[in-house]
Structure 1
Amino acid sequence: MGLLGWLHKDKPPVLLKVRSSAGLIVTTCSFAIFTDIFLYGVIVPILPFSFQDRIGISTNQVQYWVSVALAVFGAALLAGSRRTLALFMIGRALQGISAALTWTVGLALVVDTVDKEHIGKAMGWISTACSLGILVAPLLGGLVYGKGGYYSVFAMCFGLLAVDIALRLIIIEVKEAKRWLDEAESIAVADVERVVTGDPSIEKNKDSIAQQTDGQTKDVTDPSRPPIKTLIKLLGQPRFLAALWGTFVQALINTALESTLPLLSHEIFGWDSIGAGLIFLPVILPSFLGPVVGMVGDRYGPKWLASFGFLFATPFVVCLRFVDENTIQDKILLCGLLAGVGITTACIFGPLMAEITWSVQGEDGTEGAGQIAQAYGLYNMAYSGGSLVGPIMGGMVKDSAGWATVGWSLGIVVFVSAIPTVLYTGGPLKVKIRG
């Protein structure tokens, strides 16, 4: 990220302060994650129809291959150019590799840029972007596919990628910008002192000041311990593991619903790709609560927000099993339950994302600062693991045991996940005993 800042090393880049600002960096990382998730989810509502129309898969095999395709998680743009199942799966696998890089580097960059006091708010914006990507992508994918056809969907993806690349080229990382900003401040102070005192020796110190600034920047970025020791330390923290488990479960629930809802709405309500996309609309609106939830997490911690999310998501997920008839009551019930899932998800996503940073840094905000990138690499693995298991669990359970079983089985997973969240998230649970 920030390639344009490397072209001119002898003078500060244009608009240095703006391009290295926390706001622009958080916006860029949020958009990068949104784009990555969008490319994953944009084909969700069109898979059941394109598998039959373009590849010729029989109707009774559609749910199986939809689940497999979402589990592979890959480059939808490559998939859009061919009519063979093998190339489709290869494309989805390649996108998974790019997703790992985007999430790990992007989240670590945000943590390096934003103050610890505002980590929750920043992660709230990113969680909103991620939720929007998860939910807007099927909505727009279904609408564009229904109105403009298959290739119009991928033209939309190319437009998003163009904006994403432009933003990544514009930003300048703080550690790169700091050398210019610190040098400018030091030289400005030296100029004032030289004018006031008339001492020419201060002018000669400018170069040494700049060299010291560069040296300090390098010292800050040096790793503090070998990667394997960092990994062992991270995996030995119950608080960190609880955050990873919560992330895994949240991704599992999201992708399980993504793999089953489009086909379910087609089977029960007879909806086409447009209806399959619109069914995700009730889950989209609550995702805008992300920044607000993040600010609450900054002030009160993530424990009770995330615990509330898991506990109250349970009845909404379980009650999805009652949607089984083509009636107006069942349509209203489905929309209401999905809205409840969206609200509780907003209480989980941002706080757990910020909890990764809080659990690694500790109370003083400095311990383990060099572990952030590796911590978010594990976070991405947990999310990807949930994205792998979710479609398989949702799709194949639906095929073998029915939609009702999907509802209560997911509900059990969500409810059980509240236990480690209450006990360890935000620090170990402390119980006061009277007497």
Structure 2
Amino acid sequence: MGKALIGYTLGLMSGPPLGGLLYERGGYRAPFIFCGAITLLDFICRAFIIEEREEIVNALREQGMSNEAMEEEAQVVARRKQERQETSSSFRNLLKSKRLIGCVLVTACNAFVFSGAEPTVPLHLASKFDLSSEKIGLVFMAFSLPTITSPLSAILTPILGEISAVVRSTGTGDGFARAYAMFNMAFSVGVLVGPVVCGLIYEHFGFWAICLTMSGVLFLVTPVVILWIGGIDQKRQDLAKYKEEEKAKQSTQSASSRSLLAHSKYSIEFHQEQSLELGTRGGTSTLDLDQQRDNGN
């Protein structure tokens, strides 16, 4: 997922400088025409990657509604009803996870901060430093450049990995789609709220209030990251379970060692008794032979 998000990052990097350049050279309509062309190209590409799916019910209707076909259709309807029930229960299980809620909050706050900077930073740069649209686009390119390390950030701050871990821990079979849908919803809410709130704050209080607001949002979400994300409770449970398993394993090994030691002692004693018995028999026969030789002489 981190590698796939590089495309999103490249769009963030190339969009502002291209938009500024088009606005400077082609006027106000040029960026919109360019975005429309890109959207049309994206639609065409999506049309080619749609997977073909054949519904069982339609296939049965084409073949004729025999008794077996009716039974199979009834099974399909029952299976879909069961899947809808499992969907609602799995969604509730996901919402009970603090770990997933923490990921959603972090995603929303991150989107709020980045989307809130998009309408306010250009206004501040234009009014404070008298920069053109092209130069402001270059500033945003530098602003988005570190995000190209998405695969590395997936290791350092694994939000998507956290979501996958939550789905696996809850045991919901198809919960990945719902979890990532919640991730996208949180990102969309942050993108929707950020420009509106930050625009109002910038209009009434100025750019310093924007910086203070963003810092406050990040500061408030920090305890969520520390306490909920990372599965600290689950790690503690796993650690306690591991200690119990190790303790049981050690007790089992010690019991088996004692049993083996007792068996070894018994084997040694048994072999000693056998050796003494054989030695006694052998000694007696030797004395008898000596006496017989003396008598013969």
Establish whether TM, by shorter chain, passes 0.5. Answer: yes
Q: Which residue of 1 aligns with 2:131?
A: 271
Counterpart in the other structure of 1:376: 180
2:179 equivalent to 1:386: no
Q: Bigger relative contact order, structure 1 or 2, given CA contacts below 8 A and separation 6+?
A: 2
Q: TM-score, normalised by structure 2?
A: 0.63
Contact 1:256 1:393 in 2 (8 A): yes
Letter in 1 for 2:123: L
Pairing partner for 1:353 from 157, 160, 174: 160
Once residues 131 and 226 of structure 2 are traced to their aligned partners in structure 1, the CA distance between those partners, rounded to angstroms, is 40
The residue correspondences of 1:42-57 to structure 2 (distance < 5 A) are none
- Counterparts of 1:232-251 in structure 2, within 5 Å, are 232-251=92-111
Q: Which moved more, 1:284-293 or 1:244-253?
A: 284-293
Q: CA deviation at 1:384?
A: 1.6
CA distance in 2, matches of 1:280, 1:419: 29
Inter-partner Cα distance in structure 1 for 2:200 and 2:162: 32
**Residue 125 of structure 1 aligns to a residue in which SS?**
coil
In the TM superposition, residue 269 of structure 1 has moved relative to its aligned partner by 0.7
Alpha-carbon shift at residue 242 of structure 1 (Å): 0.3
Corresponding residue of 2:283: none
**Superposition map of 1:193-342 within 5 A:** 223=83, 225-294=85-154, 297=155, 305-306=156-157
Letter of the 2:166 partner, please give it. S
Q: Displacement of 1:143 after TM fit? A: 1.2
Deviation at 1:276, TM superposition (A): 2.3
From 413, 417, 433, the equivalent of 2:217 is 413
SS at match of 2:83: coil
- Distance in structure 2 (CA, Å) of the matches to 1:401 and 1:169: 46
**1:227 Cα deviation (Å)?**
3.8
User: For the Cα contact (< 8 Å) 1:223–1:370, is it kept in 2?
Assistant: no
Scaled by the length of structure 1, what TM-score is found?
0.45
Return the letter of the residue paired with 1:271: L
Rounded to whole Å, the distance in 2 between the matches of 1:144 and 1:274 is 8
CA deviations on 1:255-291 (whole Å, 9 max, x unpaired) are 1100101111111011122222222021232122112
Q: Which amino acid aligns with 2:9?
A: S
Aligned-residue offset at 1:224: 6.6
5+ residue gaps, structure 2: 55-74, 240-297
Q: Which residue of 2 aligns with 1:396?
A: 200
Match in the other structure for 2:39? 161
Contact 1:145 1:273 (8 Å CA) reproduced: yes
Change (3 A) 1:264 1:396: same
Which has the larger helix fraction?
A: 2
SS in structure 1 of the partner of residue 4 of structure 2: helix
Query: Deviation string for 1:190-237 (max 9, x for gaps)?
Result: xxxxxxxxxxxxxxxxxxxxxxxxx9xxx89x8373443333222111
Residues in 1 aligned to 2:211 and 2:179: alpha-carbon distance in whole angstroms: 32
Provide closer, same or farther for how the CA distance between residues 156 and 399 of structure 1 changes in structure 2, counting only shifts above 3 A: same
The count of aligned residue pairs is: 218
Question: 5 Å matches for 1:90-169?
Answer: 123-169=1-47
Listed one character per residue, the Cα deviations across residues 156-178 of structure 1 (whole Å, up to 9, x for unaligned) are: 223322332232233254x969x
For 1:422, the equivalent position in structure 2 comes to 226
What RMSD in Å do the two structures reach over aligned CA positions?
Answer: 3.3
Aligned to 2:275: none
Matched residues in 1 for 2:201 and 2:32: separation? 31
Alignment partner, residue 256 of structure 2 = none
The change in CA–CA distance for 1:425 and 1:291 in structure 2 (over 3 A counts) is same
**Paired residues for 1:28-47 under 5 Å:** none
Match of 2:279 in 1: none
Cα distance in 2, alignment partners of residues 291 and 256 from structure 1: 25
SS at match of 2:125: helix
Letter paired with 2:105: W
Q: CA deviation at 1:399?
A: 1.9
Measure, in 1, the Cα distance between the counterparts of 2:47 and 2:196: 37
Secondary structure of the 1:368 match is: coil
SS at match of 1:280: helix
Counterpart residue type for residue 358 of structure 1: A
Runs of 5+ unmatched residues, structure 1: 1-122, 178-214, 298-304, 307-350
Q: Tell me what 1:362 maps to.
A: 169
- Deviations for 1:277-309, whole angstroms, at most 9, x for unmatched residues? 222021232122112333xx3xxxxxxx23xxx
**Which aligned segments of 4 or more residues in structure 1 are displaced greater than 6 angstroms?**
none
Distance 2:185 2:50 in 1: 27
Q: Percent identity?
A: 29
Give the residue type in structure 2 aligned to 1:406: I
The letter of the residue matching 1:167 is C
